[in-house]
Every structure is written in structure tokens, then in C-alpha cells.
Structure 1
Amino acid sequence: MARDRACDACAARKVRCDRGLPCKRCQSLSIQCVAERRKLKAGPKGPWAQRKREALLNNKSAMEATMINRKAPIPVSDGDAHSQSSNQPHIYPGMNRVPSSAFEHYLGLYQQALYPVWPVVNIETLLNRLRDSTDIEAYALAAAVSAVTIAQLKPASHEALGRFGGDDGAFMASESSRARHELDYMEHPSISVLLTSFFLHVSYANRGHIRKGAMLLREAITFAQMLSLDKAGHYANLPKLEAQRHLRTIWLLFVTERGHTTRFDFPRILQLDPDLPELEVDENPPILFAFISLSKLFQSFANAMDGDGSSQTHEYFASMHARLRGVQQASWNSTDLQRADFLLTQQWMRVVLWKTSMYYINLLPNAADEGLSLSFPDQIARNVVQNIDRFPRSVIEAHGLGMEMKLFEVAMSLADILLCLPSTFQGKQLMNVGPRDVLNRLSEFLTCFRGGGDNIKLQILHDKMQEISSSIARQPRLLEDEQEQEQEQEVDGLDWT
């Protein structure tokens, strides 16, 4: 017997559901398989649908008439290929609706807080280009960067301008899309066009539009491939500073695609030339050291995950865990934003590698290598909790949906292993801080993530936690005296190790 739609768990994870009762994925994870989410209302039917189609046709005709009456795009010259312009940028009579003061405000916030994460936009050059109201490429890029800044940082009321009808971020994203459709941007790829697609990807993904975000990321990667940023030959005759900026762009796409496709089980299309020049730190050492460290971490992660299965033995996974552990963060003047991103991403990678290894090798409760142990998610979760308590919440939340998904992955892995192998952790729960305490801390943090976490995933996590509590209640109480003595102890602070 099959359902007429995917179960809630598969829908939340954006994966294919076989619609069985229960489905195979829920069976393999030993979780409840239900389809209780509210069905969305269907679209208009009858005369309403006809009126909507007529309105769309009228709008399309009006837009086509407007475009015919406009002048053809005018190519202009530019000496710096990475000043966010193309070899043949295009300009149109301005229809810009965002004032320069708004761009200056949000681009300033990006430079201050988010440039260390995405060091690919030269804000000074971009602001200079915005003085020309006909430079639509610059306008679209500035609006996309502003949309991401608002989505990631969620500025306080005194920082947000609030002049675009409520949601400045949504307006900026739609304005960026509107502006670049004034161009024939798909036929004229450029660094500006590429980066606009990338920042729109981040903006829409943070708003929960996962498929639209995935398409925009794929678009940015395709533009990069058209421009040959993934080929070593592209850099042969470029000035050093320009070459490094192009390298940071292609590595940013590599890192982003690897994280996005791993979380949502999408295929990857970007392969980097092994002979690409090295990333260097000449321009801004404190910021770029951390970016290079993160790029190397993702490179090691890619090497670990891309095997064909033939050589994936105990020794292989042990060496891959050692490689991930061995990638050190460049701590020299790196910001809290960069440190939190590196440390939490590193732990997420390790638990993803551990889950992958389960398909190829047998894991043991007390393996010599912690990465090959059945209790490994407990250690990873403790490391994660240490780090989320180490940094301000705002620093972690600034990384948006990607960070939330990574934390959920760690929490779900710990919950699954507690459900499947409760006896493995029976002794550990008698410690001052047991695995269930760690899981509770992760759940508390995710519940309030960016003002309110992912309700579907939170419900799945809470259901798992409830099942863990119920299974423990059904077991005979062991070492009752020790537990009561532990409860009477006064602990000054928590030690998650």
C-alpha cells in the first residue's frame, strides 16, 4: 500500500520518498513515518485562472513593447576584469528604484561583517560604478549583495532602513532579479553576472526557496565554466591581483556547491582543474588566511566523499578522518565569524563522513579510531556544543540556513544512535553531562535559531527525543544510588567534554 504524497520526514529533507507505509528511508532511520502536514491550497480554477492568464499575457506584451522601444545595449570598456564588470558590460537608461544611500548602508554592513565569509566583491569599486545610473550590472549585483546582508545579519530596527514596504531583503532580491532581466545577461556572462546569481542563491536559500536557490547556484557555476574560471589556463596571463580574485570566486563556488549538494542530495557539476594556481594572501592576510583554510577543509572533504567505493575500507576511512582532523584553521587575526564557520563546518563534515562509512564498513562500539566508533556522534555533538557556547549566538546565526542545516545533521545523528543503541551510552549518561544533555542543548539552540527554527525538522527531532525518553523509562533502573547522588551534586558550569 502506498501514500498519495511523500511523508513529512522525506519532505523536510527534500529527498525522494517511495511513499510506502512506512517508507524505506524512515525504516532505515528507525523514525516515525507520517504524512500529517497541511496540504497547500490549490491554485485558481475556472474563470479566475482564465483572468490570471490574460493578465500575464497583457503584462508580457507591455514588457515586450517597452523593450523594443529601448536602445540596444552599449558595450563599454573596462580595465579591471574583476571590478564586477564583464568584458562587454551593458548599460541601459536607468530605471533604478533603490537610492544610493541604501546601497551604501547595506554594502557597508557586508564589508564589515560578511566580506570575511565571501571575499569576492570589491565594495569600493562597486559603489563607484553605481554612480553611473545606467550600469545595470552593478545595480543588480549591489541589490543581490544587499539582499544577502539583510537575510544573513537580520539588522536590528535601528540598522534596517525599512523603506521598501516592510521586508527590505525580499525587495532587494526581487529588484536585483528585475534589473538583470533588463539585460540579456545569459548571453553575456561576466563576473558581475556570476556573482549576482551566487548572492541571489544565498538570499533565496535562506528564505527557504531551496530549489530556486539550487538553480541559481547552478547558474553561477555555469557562468564560471563559460568564463573558464575552473581551468588553469585562464590565469596564465592575468595580473596577479585579478587572478587571485578570480580564484577566490571559483573556490567560493566549489565550497558552496559541496555544502549545498551534500545537505540536499543534489548532483554536483563543478570540477576544479588540479593545476589551478594556489590561493594567496597578499591582499588582506587576516581575512584571506581563514578563507584559504576553509577552502582546504572542503577540498579534503571532497577527497574523502568522492571515492567510488572500491577502496573504502577501514583504513581508508581512518585516513580520511585523520585528514579532516588535520586541517588546521589559520587563527592569525581571523574573526569570530570565520572561526565559528570553520570549527562547526569541520565537525559537520566529520559526522557526514561517519554516516557514509556505515554503508561500507562495520563500525564497533569501542573502535580504536574514534571516527570508526558507533558512539562517534556523541563526541562530535559535544564538540559542537562547546563551540556554540563559545561564540555569541549572533555570530553563528549570521551563517544562516547552511549553519542551521549542519547543526540539525549533528543533532539528528546523535538522536538516531541513542535510539538504535541505547546500551552503548548507558554508562555515559551517569556522567555530569551525558549524551541526552548534549542533545537537549542542541535542541534548545535550534529551537531559537534566528528567532525560530525549522518547525518540521524540530518536530522530527523532538519526536526522536520523546522516543528516547520513553525507551529509557521502559528499561529497569540501574545504579539508582549513583544517579540520585549525581542529581544532588552542585555543578558550577557544564563541562561538555
Structure 2
Amino acid sequence: MEKGKKRTNYPCDGCSLRLLLPDRGSTQSPRSPSTSGVENESATQQKSLQVYIEYLDKFRDHLTCVWPVVNVESLKSRISGSLDDHDAWALAGAICATHNLVSDDNNVAESFAHHAQRSHNLSNQHHQSTHYKEDTTESLLTAFFLHVYFANTERIRIATVYLHEAIAQLHLQSLHRPEILVSLEEEQRELLLRIFWLVFVTERTFCVQNCFPPCLKPIQTFPLSEFHIQGAGEVDASFQLLAQLFTLLDDNIIVAADRGGVPPDSNAAENLYSALSAMAKQDFSTLAPYLPETQRVNVLMTGNWIHILWWQFALSHYQMSSRMDDAMLSMLKPAKVAHETMRLLGSVSQQAIRTHGYGLELKVFRIADALIDILACNTWLSSLQPGCNSMLLGARDVLRSLQKALLLIGWPESLFHKKLMLVMAESQLAVPDVKALTTCEEEECVDYS
């Protein structure tokens, strides 16, 4: 999906990047070298390097708190020192592509991703030709960030390939075995634990979106809060909280939409109650005010989204309550979650919201979709018990606000926004200017929602 985003910076960055190392790995230029030609090539390479450094600095300043696993200064030093350090160039390109995606420079992001793929392939070829047997952290992170990029641009097949590559390298490097990590230096161990949990959280999100069975299983070891890693900084308590939230997503939830009416396994009821009980005990209110905006949005929206996923699963398999004070299985839970979501989004900057891109767009859509279900059966609810639907007061205004949030995150061409408009119309809720989706758009909405 090509979103209607306006480029505001570096109008020729994409062109500069396309000229970067056109024959990297080749020993011969297609033309006979001349003094002026060599000078022009050198100038082009220097300009391209400056573009990389510019965006790596932006990643360091704005996204290290989201992905605290990269020493940007070390990476800048490596790409400045060698054109043949394919591992470094691949990771730099993947990181820059991811940053530009969330900052709306789509054309530049695509150029970065293309160069990252080329460098990643060259690195793999080099390792194979020299019988290099050690898998590197840089290679794992390159596959991870390329997955993030292609997942956010909704190219699911290639995103799946890179995710599986990252998971394979994670297993080859034994990041899923804390007993092996114990023997490492403390800083290296902490870095690898961060990487494991970032891949774990990312895989769970991707599998929920696409009804894929997950590969990774949670471990019982988390990174230490406030442990400083050179160049990557510290993680606060929210990192562990976020990881713990994702451990509550069991296989019944992740592939629920693809079960085709198959009943959940025998442990589903026990898992449901223990997960909802664990979430009910999480005191986000005390932690949230001390988090950076970007992390606050990430943690609180993830909690809200997981509440909705469990609610939708429970709705299909268990008897629900019409009482709002039933924290476990209330029919009205989406109304409360939607109110909390809008309070959160109204308290942070637009940049903190847009930073999370497609992942946040999906979460807002799922919350809005669940709220529509409640509004659609409002008449039935009000007949059960006087006052039981008081939480629905103002719910339509909240729904409109969620609709606007989708436009803010996904821009006017957001497929999730179009899908939400159709769902509202089908539920006989007032919608301005509803337009039918094209066949292609409808298929994409079904695939990703």
C-alpha cells in the first residue's frame, strides 16, 4: 500500500542513495576511470555517507528508546571507515529505512531498504565463500529491521522471510537459552537479552496480525532495568512490562481468527483467566507518567490491544457479564478500553503517535472495531439492566476520535480507516462520505485485520 505522505526533507536523498556504491563488490568500473570521474564518484559517495549518518543520528535521538540494541556511533565509524564492511552497511541501511518509514520519507526509506538488502546478501555470500561459520549480531539485527520495514509497508511475504531469518539466527546464537548467556560478559548478555525480547514481541505482533503460529517461546530471564550499554543506553521498567504483556498471548489468541470454529484447547479457560487476572493487576498508572512519550504510547496501547484480543476470544467461547465492574469478562470492556485509549492519545504529541506507524494503526483499528460491536448491540444491553450501559455515554464521540487517530497514523490512504468506515456503515452508524474499497484493498484489509 502506498500511503499519501508528503516528503518534506532531503528531496534528492533517494537519488543520492541510488548512486551509492553501484558496483559494490566489483573490482572494475564500467567506464575507464578518469580524474574527474574518480572525483565525482568520491563526491557522490561522500554525500551518500553523509545522508546515512544524518539518519542514523535521527534514529539515535528518537528511536533508541524503542529499539535499545544499536551502538549508532560505532556503526557510523564502521561505515565511514570501509565501503566493504557489508555487515555494517546492511545494518545501517535497515535502520535508516525503518526510521524514514516512521518519519514519512517513503521514497528514501525504499532506497535505504534496497541497499540494506544488497549489502546483506553480499555479506552472506562473503561468509559462505570464506566458510565463515559465526553468525553475527549485526546480521541478526539487519534481518530484524528489514522485517520491521517490510511488515510496516505491508509486504507480508518478504517480511515473513526476514522474520524467520532473524529467529533462525537467534536460535543459532542460543539467545533463547539463558543458561548459555550466563557465561558471557554482562554487557554482551544484557544486549542479547534485549534482542531476544524485541524479536519475541515483534513475532507475536506479526503472528496476531496474520494468524501465523509463533515459533519463539518466552524465557524467564529479562534484561536488567537501568543497566547501561555503551551506545545503546538503558532500558527502564517498561521494557520488561511490555515483554511480560506479550507472554500473555498464547497460541489460542494468536491464531484465533484462523481456527474456523475449532474449539480452544483444554487449557484455554485456565490461560484466559490467569492472563486477564495478571493484566488486571498491572498498575500502569504509576509507571506511565515516568516513561518517555514514545514508550508510554507503546506500553499502554499494547496493554489496551491485548485486553481487546482476550475479550474477542472470550466473547466467542465463554459466558460474558453485562456488568462494567466485572474486570474479567465484562461485555462492555471495549468501551472502557476505548475511553482509556483516547485519553492516552490526547495526552501525547503527534510525533509520539506516528512513530509506531502500522503497529499502532492496527491496535487502534482493533479497539475501534470492538467498540462498534458494543454500539451495535446497545439496545440489547440496555434491556438487560438499567444503567448497565452508562459507559457507552459518549462512546460515539470516542469512536469518531479513534477514526481521526487512524487518519493521523495512516494518513488519508489508510486502509484501516477505510475498513472502519465500512464497518461503521454496515452497523448503521453515521459515517461521512463512505467509499467502497477496491477488490485489492478489501483483500488487504481482510488479510491484515
**Does the alignment reach a TM-score above 0.5?**
yes
- Give the C-alpha shift of residue 100 in structure 1: 2.4
- Give the C-alpha shift of residue 429 in structure 1: 7.8
2:347 corresponds to which letter in structure 1? R
Residue equivalent to 1:149: 99
SS in 2 for 1:182: helix
User: Quick check: 1:300 aligned with 2:248?
Assistant: yes
| Aligned residues of 1:367 and 1:373 also touching (Cα < 8 A) | yes
Which of 118, 129, 146 in structure 1 is aligned with 2:67?
A: 118
Residue equivalent to 2:358: 401
Which of 433, 436, 450 in structure 1 is aligned with 2:396?
A: 436
Whole-Å Cα distance in 1 between the matches of residues 283 and 423 of structure 2?
A: 34
Distance change >3 Å, CA 387–CA 193, structure 1 → 2 = same
Residue equivalent to 2:49: 100
- Give the C-alpha shift of residue 337 in structure 1: 0.2
Whole-Å Cα distance in 2 between the matches of residues 318 and 233 of structure 1?
A: 31
Whole-Å Cα distance in 2 between the matches of residues 385 and 211 of structure 1?
A: 33
Whole-Å Cα distance in 2 between the matches of residues 422 and 107 of structure 1?
A: 54
SS in 2 for 1:371: coil
1:351 corresponds to which letter in structure 2? I
| Aligned residues of 1:147 and 1:203 also touching (Cα < 8 A) | yes
Whole-Å Cα distance in 1 between the matches of residues 213 and 377 of structure 2?
A: 30
1:439 corresponds to which letter in structure 2? L
| Aligned residues of 1:404 and 1:449 also touching (Cα < 8 A) | yes
- Give the C-alpha shift of residue 299 in structure 1: 2.4
Which of 226, 232, 236 in structure 2 is aligned with 1:281?
A: 226
Distance change >3 Å, CA 196–CA 405, structure 1 → 2 = same
Residue equivalent to 1:34: none
Whole-Å Cα distance in 2 between the matches of residues 360 and 200 of structure 1?
A: 37
Residue equivalent to 1:160: none
User: Quick check: 1:446 aligned with 2:406?
Assistant: yes
User: Quick check: 1:343 aligned with 2:300?
Assistant: yes
Whole-Å Cα distance in 1 between the matches of residues 58 and 198 of structure 2?
A: 20
User: Quick check: 1:198 aligned with 2:158?
Assistant: no
User: Quick check: 1:375 aligned with 2:332?
Assistant: yes
Whole-Å Cα distance in 1 between the matches of residues 110 and 280 of structure 2?
A: 39
Give runs of aligned pairs for residues 475-486 of structure 1, distance below 5 A. Answer: none
Residue equivalent to 2:436: none
| Aligned residues of 1:286 and 1:332 also touching (Cα < 8 A) | no
Distance change >3 Å, CA 97–CA 179, structure 1 → 2 = farther
Whole-Å Cα distance in 2 between the matches of residues 174 and 230 of structure 1?
A: 30
- Give the C-alpha shift of residue 102 in structure 1: 1.4
Residue equivalent to 1:423: 380
Q: Give the number of equivalent residue pairs.
A: 372
SS in 2 for 1:440: helix
Segments of 5+ residues of structure 1 without an aligned counterpart are 1-11, 13-62, 71-94, 156-165, 472-497
User: Quick check: 1:290 aligned with 2:238?
Assistant: yes
- Give the C-alpha shift of residue 129 in structure 1: 1.5
Distance change >3 Å, CA 470–CA 338, structure 1 → 2 = closer
Whole-Å Cα distance in 2 between the matches of residues 167 and 100 of structure 1?
A: 17
Distance change >3 Å, CA 206–CA 229, structure 1 → 2 = same
Q: Report the TM-score when normalising by structure 2.
A: 0.74
1:181 corresponds to which letter in structure 2? N
- Give the C-alpha shift of residue 303 in structure 1: 9.1
Deviations 1:279-309 (A, max 9, x none): 4432168643332221222223449958963
Whole-Å Cα distance in 1 between the matches of residues 252 and 288 of structure 2?
A: 24
| Aligned residues of 1:107 and 1:123 also touching (Cα < 8 A) | yes
Whole-Å Cα distance in 2 between the matches of residues 375 and 347 of structure 1?
A: 14
Whole-Å Cα distance in 1 between the matches of residues 316 and 391 of structure 2?
A: 31
Residue equivalent to 1:466: 425
Give runs of aligned pairs for residues 173-212 of structure 1, distance below 5 A. Answer: 173-184=113-124, 189-212=135-158
Distance change >3 Å, CA 333–CA 283, structure 1 → 2 = farther
CA RMSD of aligned residues (A): 3.2
Whole-Å Cα distance in 2 between the matches of residues 395 and 105 of structure 1?
A: 20
Deviations 1:365-408 (A, max 9, x none): 22752331212111111111111111122211110101100110
Stretch of structure 1 that moved more, 231-240 or 322-331: 322-331
